[in-house]
Structure 1
Amino acid sequence: LSAVIRTEEQERQRFAKELHDGLGPLLSVIKMLLSGFEEKNSPEVNDKIKGNLKQAVDEAITSVREISANISPHILNNFGLRDATESFIRKLRPAEGISINFKTNIDNRRFIYNVEVIMYRVICELINNTLRHANASKISIDLQLQGDVLYLEYEDNGMGFDVKQAESDGGMGLSNMQYRLNSGNGDIKISSESGRGMIARAFIKCK
C-alpha cells in the first residue's frame, strides 16, 4: 500500500510539473497576445496577433492532449529543439515592449527526447517568469552545444529578485527546473539583484 501511494503521488507531481511547465508559458503567451489586441492597432498587426493567438491556443490544446496521453510535446517531435524554441519566441513578437534575441549553434541537430524536452521546458519557464514577474524589455537566450553538453545562458533586464527568497518560497518554477535538469545530469544556477535583471546558466549532458 505504501508503494502504491508513493507511486500515485509521484505521478501527481509529474503531471503537476507538466501542466505548470507546458501550459503555463503558452497561457502567458495567450494573455499577452490578448492584451496587445487593440483597436488603435493597424489591421495588419491585429491580423498577425489573431493568427499567433490561434496558433498558441491550438498548441495549448495539443499540449493538454499530450499530457493526458503521456506523450512527448508535439512541437519537439516534429521540429526539434531549435525550431520549437524559435516558434515559441515568434508568438511573443507582436507583444509590445519585449525584445527577444535567441542564438544557437545546434542548427537542425536532434537530441534524445529527455534532453530536448527538458531544455525546452526550462527555456519556456524562464521566459514565462520574465513575462510574469520581471517587467523586462529585453531577453537574451544563448544555447550552445559544446562536446556532449548543451549549455544555456538566459538573461533579462528586468527588476531582479532575491534568489534565495524565491528558492525558499518554492515559487517561479525554480524547483521544477532544478528537478528536470538534475534528472538529465544537468544543473542550473540563477543570479539576480534588485534592479539589475537576472542571469540563468544551465547545462544538460546530451549522452
Structure 2
Amino acid sequence: MKNNIFLVFNLDEMNLAIGSVFVAFLLMSFIVISFFYFSRKKIIQKEIEKKNLEINHQKELLRSVILTQEEERKRIAQDLHDDISSKLNVVSLNTHLLNTPNLSEEELLGITNNITDLTQKALESSRRIAHDLLPPVLEKFGLHAGIEELVAEFNTSKSVHVIYKNELRFNINEIDKQLHIFRILQELLNNSIRHGKASEISIEFKTINGKETCVYIDNGIGFDLKSEDCKKGLGMKNIESRINFLNGTFSIESNKNKGVQINFTF
C-alpha cells in the first residue's frame, strides 16, 4: 500500500515537472518569437525611415532644380524684355522717323547711325543670352575647350587666379553630361569668389580609384560643414542634383579660414 502511494506521488511530481518544463518551453518560445518579431519590426521601421529620408532628399533636389530653372527663365525673360525688346522698340521708332518729310542730311545720318548702333547692341545682347544658355565653344569643341574659356574669363578679372589641369579625354558627343559639369564649375567658381573671397582656385580632372574625378580647391574663407545654411543652400542643392544626374558622388572638406576642397565623380 505504501509503495503504491509513493508511486502515485512520484508520478504526480513527474507530471508537475514535465508540466513546468513545458510551460517554461512555451514561455521561452514566446520570448524568442517576440524578440525576433519586434527586432524585425524595428529593422523594417528603420528601413522605412531611411527610404522616406531618401525620398524627401530626392524631392528637395528636384525642388532645387525646378527653382533654379525658374530663376533662369525669369532672368532670360527679363534680359529679353529689358535689354533686347527696349532696344528694338527704339530701333522701330527711329525707323518710323525715316519717313519724316524734309529731313536734313545730318538728321538722316543721325537716325541711321542710331539704328545701326542699337541693332549692334541688340545682337550683342542676344549673343550673350545664347552664350549663357549653351556656350558655343562647349558645343563646337567640347568640355575641355569650354573650361579653358571659362577659366580665362575669370582670370581676366585679376582678382582671382584659376589653375586648370586635365588628364582626361572627354567624349564630345556627350554634350548634355558635359554641360552639367560645366554648370557645376560655374557655380563653384561663383561661390568661391562671391562667398568664399578666394584669390586662388585649382581645378583638376584626373582618374582616382578608377573613376573620372574633378578635384576643386580654393583658398577662401571656407565654411562650417555642420551649418544647415550651407547644406540647404540652393547653389549646393543645384550642384548635388547635377552630380546625381551624372550618376556621380561628391565630398566636401572645409574649415573656417582654410578654404574648400570638393571632389566629384561623373
In the superposition, the TM-score normalised over structure 1's length comes to 0.63
The answer to whether the aligner puts 1:15 opposite 2:78 as a matched pair is: no
Q: Does 2:196 correspond to 1:134?
A: yes
| Structure with a larger share of its residues in helix | 2
Contact 2:184 2:239 in 1 (8 A): yes
- The SS at the match of 1:164 is coil
% identical equivalent positions: 25
Alignment of 1:9-88 (within 5 A): 12-13=66-67, 15-16=69-70, 60-63=128-131, 66=133, 73-88=135-150
More strand by share: 1
Q: CA RMSD in A?
A: 3.2
Q: Which runs of 5+ in 1 are unaligned?
A: 1-8, 24-55, 67-71
Measured in 2, the distance between the counterparts of 1:58 and 1:89 equals 23
Query: Does 1:110 pair with 2:168?
Result: no
Which structure ranks higher in relative contact order (CA pairs < 8 Å, sequence separation ≥ 6)? 1
The residue type paired with residue 160 of structure 1 is G
Is the contact made by 2:64 and 2:238 (CA closer than 8 Å) also made in structure 1?
A: no
Aligned length: 156
- Larger gyration radius, structure 1 or structure 2: 2
What is the deviation of 1:112?
A: 1.2
Aligned twin of 2:215:
153
Distance in structure 2 (CA, Å) of the matches to 1:17 and 1:75: 24
Q: 1:186 to 1:78 in 2, by over 3 A?
A: same
User: In structure 1, the residue corresponding to 2:148 is in which secondary structure?
Assistant: helix
Q: Following the alignment from structure 2 to structure 1, what is the Cα–Cα distance between the partners of residues 150 and 176?
A: 19
One-letter amino acid of the structure 1 residue matched with residue 128 of structure 2: A
Distance 1:117 1:164 in 2: 30
Unaligned runs of 5+ in 2: 1-62, 77-123
State which of 219, 236, 239 in structure 2 corresponds to 1:177. Answer: 239
